[in-house]
């Protein structure tokens, strides 16, 4: 695509209302992904239910938001 065509398309896209820009951005990023894994949704549903059961049974080690934030920042500093 020639730069002028890309510039025109970019300008038009940026003039869209925010919800439409978000939808367009989502669609563009999704178009770069490979095919969806048919089993992924089922696997995530199963994992969510497992984690919820662990929390409800009292077997999960929960941390508060500040501790989570501290751990994430510590990991980011190591990379």
Helix, strand and coil in the chain, % to nearest 5:
75, 0, 25
Average pLDDT of the residues in 17-35 = 94
Same domain, 44 and 27: no
Q: Which range of residues forms the domain containing residue 7? A: 3-32
Cα separation, 74 vs 79, in Å, equals 9
Same domain, 50 and 27: no
What percentage of the chain has pLDDT greater than the value 90? 85
Give tens-digit pLDDT for 53-73. 999 999 999 999 999 999 999
Same domain, 26 and 46: no
**Number of domains the chain is built from:** 2
Average pLDDT of the residues in 19-43 = 92
Average pLDDT of the residues in 31-49 = 91
Same domain, 26 and 47: no
DSSP H or E segment with residue 12:
helix 3-14
Predicted confidence band of residue 2 (pLDDT cuts 50, 70, 90): low
């Amino acid at each position: 695509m020639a730069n002028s065509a890309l510039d025109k398309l970019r300008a038009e896209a940026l003039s869209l209302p925010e919800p439409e820009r978000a939808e367009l951005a989502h669609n563009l990023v999704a178009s770069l992904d490979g095919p969806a894994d048919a089993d992924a949704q089922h696997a995530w549903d199963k994992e969510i239910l497992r984690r919820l059961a662990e929390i409800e049974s009292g077997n999960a080690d929960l941390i508060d938001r500040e501790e989570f934030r501290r751990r994430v920042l510590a990991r980011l500093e190591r990379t």
